[in-house]
Amino acid sequence: MTAGRGHYVELTWTPDFSHGSGRQRKAQRYEAFVPGRIADDEPVLESSTVALAERAGSAVRDLNSNASGLVSLEVMGRQLLRSEALASSQIEGLSISHRKLAEAELEGRHGHHKAKEIMGTIKALERAMEIGGRAGALDVEAIVDIHKELAIVPPLDKIAGQIREEASWIGGSAPPNAEYVGPPHQEVRPLLDDLCHFMNRDDISPIPQAAIAHAQFELIHPFGDGNGRVGRCLIHVLLRRRGLAPAYVPPISLVLGANKDAYIAGLQGFRAGSTDEWIKQFARGAEIAAERAREFSAEVTSLQESWRELVKPVRSDAAVLPLIDVLPKYPVITAAVAEKEIGRSRPATISALSQLGSVDVLKRHRNQKKGDSWEAKDLFQLLSSFEESVRLPAA
């Protein structure tokens, strides 16, 4: 049966007969969706959607190219990556605070299970940016590599990088009662090959291309779990590949996930054939994310300048100045990490941390087992304001 951007096939679900009883043990019929091929897709868009997509692309490009007066690319890129990873994971129901994640990233502090999983998302995003910067054609193995980086905690690690060989669905306990069932596993690799051909094209505007590629990947649902996060990583691959985001991608997942119902509805609309509406929604999210990221960087820069004023007068080679520079990268920091980052002796580093503590820039947390850490609480307040600013009103 044809439906929107693909067709349905009727299949039989045979549950594990060693579990359950009664009707739950009976084989049941269900419908799986097989998306149409997109390698040669030529999206027909309204003129207003084309204009919005071009404006969004310019906003992403400007964020990367006009860095004068903003936080360093390395520092800003790391923080945006954290925000993107947290948002992408939160869409999947995995939520922790920026503070918990920052603590987990410190040396020797990897015990928090949720934080470890989100650090897997960060690694997957980093790999996506690396893949996007490579010369040559994108292939299925590159997508598999992203999943391997993501799948680092149980039980996801058991299927790391494995394209599924069984049914995959969203919602419900089994395909017959699921909200969505992806294509039969025999269709998955050919569909991924087709998707890669589409992503390798350079004759489509980058924002619509990223929107379509992401939505198509979600329809294919090629892995047993982790599909949403990998699909959002592909946005990073494409925007880097097409030259819009050579340094960093604004946290588009933060905007999309701020109104999860509208995001899911947009993906469902794409499946039904509403390509223009989905691209419009995606482009709007990309534009907002880029604009707010630039504003956030300017606010962090201003905050750092206020810290420098608080510690004046200091010598130009004082250890406290490079420490201020790296704090946005490490809003929770230890003496060991600070010493490594600023390249000063341990006594000079401790003195700089204490100096910032004395003017209330840093708050010291004492811990005999793990070692003391210092928290830049004003940075977390800025992060909260930034993430609130990207929230779209409900549709």
> What confidence tens digit (pLDDT) does each residue in 187-200 have?
999 999 999 999 99
Band of the pLDDT at 93, cuts 50, 70, 90? confident
Domain limits, the chain: 38-295, 312-384
Give the pLDDT of residue 394. Answer: 42
Band of the pLDDT at 395, cuts 50, 70, 90? very low
The pLDDT tens digits for 18-52 are: 444 445 568 999 999 999 999 999 999 999 999 99
Give the pLDDT of residue 19. Answer: 45
Cα(42)–Cα(227) distance, rounded to whole angstroms?
25
Give the pLDDT of residue 21. Answer: 46
Instruction: Quote the longest CA-to-CA distance of the chain.
Output: 79
Average pLDDT over every residue of 317-344: 94
Query: Of 35, 32, 45, nearest to 5 (Cα)?
Result: 35
The pLDDT tens digits for 289-326 are: 999 888 888 899 899 999 999 999 999 999 999 999 99
What percent of the chain is helix, strand and coil (3-state, nearest 5)?
60, 10, 35
**pLDDT above 90 as % of the chain:** 67
Give the pLDDT of residue 102. Answer: 82
Report the Cα 299 to chain-centroid distance in Å. 22
Cα(206)–Cα(261) distance, rounded to whole angstroms?
25
Residues with Cβ within 8 Å of 329's Cβ and at least 6 positions away in sequence, in order, are 74, 75, 78, 79, 341
Q: How far apart are the first and last CA of the chain?
A: 30
Give the pLDDT of residue 69. Answer: 52
Q: Is the peptide bond before 176 cis (omega within 30 degrees of 0)?
A: no
Q: What is the pTM for the complete model shown? A: 0.90
For 101, list phi and psi in degrees, rounded to 5.
-65, -45
**pLDDT above 70 as % of the chain:** 92
Answer whether residue 16 shows pLDDT above 70: no
Q: Which two tokens stand for residue 292?
A: 């707010």
Give the pLDDT of residue 319. Answer: 97
Mean pLDDT of the chain: 89
Average pLDDT over every residue of 175-183: 96
Query: Of 112, 114, 102, nearest to 334 (Cα)?
Result: 102
Cα(287)–Cα(20) distance, rounded to whole angstroms?
49
Give the pLDDT of residue 384. Answer: 85
Given a contact cutoff of 8 angstroms between Cβ atoms, the answer to whether 198 and 213 are in contact is: yes
Give the pLDDT of residue 133. Answer: 95
Give the pLDDT of residue 43. Answer: 93
Give the pLDDT of residue 363. Answer: 96
For 6, list phi and psi in degrees, rounded to 5.
180, -155
How many Cβ atoms from other residues are within 10 Å of residue 33's Cβ? 20
Give the pLDDT of residue 212. Answer: 98
In CATH terms, 312-384 corresponds, of 1.10.486.10, 3.30.200.20, 3.30.110.40, 1.10.10.10, to: 1.10.10.10
Query: Of 263, 245, 44, 215, nearest to 133 (Cα)?
Result: 245
The pLDDT tens digits for 101-128 are: 887 777 555 556 778 888 899 999 999 9
The pLDDT tens digits for 202-228 are: 999 999 999 999 999 999 999 999 999
The pLDDT tens digits for 342-388 are: 999 999 999 999 999 999 999 999 887 778 899 999 998 998 888 88
Q: Which CATH class is domain 38-295?
A: mainly alpha
CA atoms lying within 13 Å on the CB side of residue 197: 11
Band of the pLDDT at 71, cuts 50, 70, 90? low
